[in-house]
Amino acid sequence: MLLRVIESGPGGAAFNMALDEAIAQRVRAGESPFTLRLYSWEGASLSIGSFQKLNGINLEAVKSKKVPVVKRPTGGRAILHGEELTYSFSSRYEGSFRGGLFACCEVISRAIYEALKETGVPVQVKSGRGKDRVRSAVCFQSVSFAEITAHGKKLVGSAQKRWTDGFLQQGSIPYRIDRGLSSAIFPDFDPGLMTGLEEASGGDFYPERFVQAMREEFAECLGAALRVEGPCPAELALARELLPKYLFPL
């Protein structure tokens, strides 16, 4: 098995989503290998789940602060992206990913968990599949199955889109939280329910080391050979075609 890792740096909100979908399409068709993409955002951006309504989001604050909004191809709840490492993982239902939703989430969660442990962050993984009773529009206000916490606070938020031939999982791992902007955009935001990597590690955190650990631990958990490269021309061209789909005017 081959694992391709793409480290694409900061991108615009709509392009980030379009490229994730383009990669997933190529992977599902067998035209690209299983792919872990690691990236960030050009500035504060708001992503909402594919079926999520805008209830619980202060749209006036979003507009006044000029925060771009994008609807993810995956489900889940709203995430205010900022200083973070965002990941996407595209796969066919092969190898470690022959199982259902929960089984696939567990494999990815284990790789992220090991990468965080490798960089000295004290983390735990939610193992129960209990019903989420939190009504908030915000992803980081509740912890779902296989999601990762530190010091009892949510650290990693993830969501998945499944097709008949494969899936795409996207996730956000904050370096630090902009609690002021989060409170302005989400009226029910509780800063005590989430944390970032700097806070969770006590300030002794190095992003470059974490990115390296993510590459290595994903390859280790999947038993895969590792190849680091950029998106192929066909994926970039497809992303440009998909881009209008993700423009989200308010």
| Catalytic residue list contains 104 | no
Can you tell me the distance from the alpha carbon of 43 to that of 20, in angstroms, rounded to the nearest whole number? 18
Whole-number Å distance between alpha carbons of 22 and 49: 18
> How many other CB atoms are found less than 10 A from the CB of residue 179?
13
Distance CA 61, CA 59 (A): 5
Amino acid at 194: M
> Could you tell me the maximum CA-CA distance found in the chain, to the nearest angstrom?
48
SS3 label, residue 134: coil
For residues 106, 96, 197, 187, the Cα torsion angle rounded to the nearest 10 degrees is -50
Instruction: Tell me the CA end-to-end span of the chain in Å, nearest whole number.
Output: 43
> Which candidate in 104, 139, 221, 232 is catalytic?
139
Question: Which residues have a catalytic role annotated?
Answer: 139
